[in-house]
Amino acid sequence: MTIHVEYDEDAHTNAFISLADAVEEAFPRVLVDGNDADVMARTVVGNEGPRTGAFEVTLEGGLGASGSEGGSGSVASSSLFSALKEGRPPTALEIIEALEREVDAATLGLEDGPAGDRCG
């Protein structure tokens, strides 16, 4: 499972690195990828690279809490956070909590203990 982050490299590089480290430490099965050209080609109008002020966090593919997955050939994605809408980058805790709401515990590698008792 991959989290894609479109981020403004001039403004948010350190925030991206901190977020990626925290999420990958919390969920070893999750890869955090930034400014991937293929993903941005699908999501950024005009494909001109990361937008100014952007810190857009998207869950790409993977199994959701319902156990569903995008069909073959399709890439299911859901927005976890948008700095363009919120006016600020997210905290790592906001993304970790969003992942716990969107994805089942087994997929995140949290098989030990109750699935709903993860953050705090």
- Transcribe 18-62 into DSSP letters: HHHHHHHHH-TT-EEEES-HHHHHHHSGGG-SSPTT-EEEEEESS
DSSP structure class, residue 105? H
Which structural domains are found in the chain, ordered by start? 2-108 (3.40.30.10)
Interatomic CA distance for residues 12 and 72, integer angstroms = 34
User: Nearest 5°: phi and psi at 22?
Assistant: -65, -45
Q: Which pLDDT does position 46 carry in this prediction? A: 59
Q: Which pLDDT does position 87 carry in this prediction? A: 95
Q: Which pLDDT does position 112 carry in this prediction? A: 56
Q: What is the pTM of this model?
A: 0.76
pLDDT tens by residue, the chain, 120 residues:
899 999 999 999 999 999 999 999 999 889 999 998 888 887 776 567 899 999 999 998 754 444 444 433 445 688 999 999 999 999 999 999 999 888 877 677 666 544 444 443
Contacts of 71 (CB under 8 A, 6+ apart): none
- Decide: helix, strand or coil at residue 80: strand
Q: Which pLDDT does position 61 carry in this prediction? A: 72
- Decide: helix, strand or coil at residue 68: coil
